[in-house]
Structure 1
């Protein structure tokens, strides 16, 4: 892998995504947004798997002018797409061999990567003999084997057991810390953005809705999807956003009296355990989250269908202006 000077993107996937982005070498960018926002279309355009217009310049080369097979890219999908007839070692060694490395050199590189991801002793197994987590480790190792300048990861932890996903997330974070190229990670999980990424790109309806560090985006969400990911309520009034924590929402069966300035009424849509609390989703306009104690949930009968009132004190809310890019 050659040290990358960075990535400049200004591309359009007709009818799906319009993205402008500049990424410094060595950065990890998490791409988040609701289903249909254009996330996968964006990374697939970079990989040459869907047609796109514009430019995507990586280390001085416009990827959109290069055939997909010749792009210095590693690609990981959530469903692995391993060669079923090849062993784990041969799957990982396939790329280096195809690019001219000797079998011995390619196999050595493959074994090193399998060792890094803790499955070196499974190198002889075929995909059907691997668990989901083991197969995804092979897929990530395969993507890295050619020493790509750009690593694209499209929901790499989706469908994995929570414990397996956490372990793989830690292993990937350790590798990315020393990775000299650029990594772009599509995810639905806030923890991926918070633990793996240097920057977060929020897509909504095919366009960039927000960009910033994980801390900035979490503190000042600009879309309902991001607010839900980080567990806060978001209201928008023209060019002003208002956010508040579910912990600061008071739930009652009667209309509240007193100093609370923000009030809503609606039906409980769901009630789920959330840490040591019960998290309610209430069908107000817009829908809001509220955390209550298990005792309060039982005493008030806070089950789906229950009519409730929500209130928040003015001192518990944060307000900021609408800004699609925090930089």
Structure 2
């Protein structure tokens, strides 16, 4: 299935995905992730084409789309059952048939006993399960999930992520999931789409995107440094960086210089953010941090062996589109 979205000056994306694929959409704030979903759903103006069919002039109910919002957006005056029933009813199914579908989805998510509760009587995780069930009950061709785990406790996020993953494996359409969490991309995605400044910067399998990130945002999500070097990109881990107060010597080393921005614990290490143009991360031992007197504002040198750096071509940059 091919999905094309063109919102002049805001978002331009062209994505091809197979039926049953989960596409996780990532990118910095303001990249256009939520706007992309809104356009596909008909909630934002712009040209939308799905599998060659123009959706631009279709009303929201005419689009085979299920939408899960960040804040659930459940109807506060309706019970959980009636919230899930709403979609099938709006698409012309009888009350009895719609209720049967709704009860089945509530059962699948383990919340059938909450059918008569209203949203204010549900926990965040329960409400999000109802919201996802409501979206799936419409038998959508495209399922849109806008940060479905945000605002939930970590334990609830993990449980819901596992549940959603099971249901997405059986979902016959295409699912687009917007997230800020690398865990979602690595555990749920068949393909990752990276948006940057409203355009597709990279598309590929999660492992490929994680190994060869093409934007600073993605590199930071997966814990890598990213440096542009002409037409190439260089990626390397923070623990491959050596920190010194004097300029390092040796032709085999890459080097940068700048002030420390932040110093913070990171597992067994101390992580530095250094404004070296670009910003770079470096991990040092607590003993080294103390010995060198590493504090915010201190000018330091960073270096890395060329053999510790992954170098690859800067293809699929913003503005070039992608598939």
Displacement of 1:259 after TM fit? 6.0
Are 1:25 and 2:5 an aligned pair? no
Q: Give the number of equivalent residue pairs.
A: 319
8 Å Cα contact 2:5-2:46 kept in structure 1: yes
203, 209, 214: which one aligns with 1:217 = 209
Query: Counterpart of 1:64 in 2: which secondary structure?
Result: coil
Alpha-carbon deviations, 1:150-189, whole Å to 9, x = none? 1011111122222211211111111101111110111111
Could you tell me which residue of structure 1 aligns to residue 121 of structure 2?
129
Q: Could you give the per-residue CA deviations for residues 51-80 of structure 1, whole angstroms, max 9, x where no partner exists?
A: 112x4124x643224211111110011111
Deviations 1:76-104 (A, max 9, x none): 11111100011111111111122232333
Task: For residue 249 of structure 1, report the CA deviation from its aligned partner.
Answer: 0.8
Please say if 1:261 is aligned against 2:253.
yes
Equivalent of residue 36 in structure 1, options 27, 30, 48: 30
Alpha-carbon distance in 1 for matches of 2:11, 2:208: 23
Distance 1:259 1:162, change over 3 A: farther
8 A contact 1:212–1:326 mirrored in 2: no
Give the 5 Å matches for 1:127-276.
127-258=119-250, 261-276=253-268
When normalised by structure 2's length, the TM-score is: 0.92
TM-score of the pair, normalised by structure 1: 0.91
Q: 2-side partners of 1:275 and 1:110: how far apart? A: 45
Consecutive unaligned residues in structure 2, runs of 5 or more = none
Post-superposition CA distance 1:175-234 (Å, at most 9, x none): 101111110111111111111111111111111111111111111111111111111011
Q: Please state how far the C-alpha of 1:258 moved relative to its aligned partner.
A: 4.4
Pairwise CA distance, 1:117: 1.9
User: Who is 2:4 aligned against?
Assistant: 10
Q: CA RMSD in A?
A: 1.9
Q: Does 1:300 align with 2:292?
A: yes
Tell me the secondary structure at the aligned position of residue 315 of structure 2: coil
Distance (Å, rounded) in 1 between the aligned partners of 2:260 and 2:252: 20
- Give the whole-Å Cα distance in 1 for the aligned partners of 2:235 and 2:243: 17
For 1:115 and 1:302, locate their aligned partners in 2 and report how far apart those are by CA, in whole Å: 55
Q: Secondary structure at the match of 2:24?
A: strand
Counterpart of 1:62 (choices 39, 54, 59) is 54
C-alpha distance in 1 between matches for 2:107 and 2:269 = 41
* Alignment partners' CA distance in 2, 1:209 and 1:218: 14
CA distance, structure 2, for counterparts of residue 23 and residue 63 of structure 1: 17
Deviations 1:247-298 (A, max 9, x none): 1111233333446511222222223333333322111110001122334334
- Other-structure match for 1:112: 104
Equivalent residue, structure 1, for 2:45: 51
DSSP-derived class of the 1:24 partner: coil
Structure 1: state its 5+ residue gaps. Answer: 1-5
User: Which residue of structure 1 lines up, in the alignment, with residue 275 of structure 2?
Assistant: 283
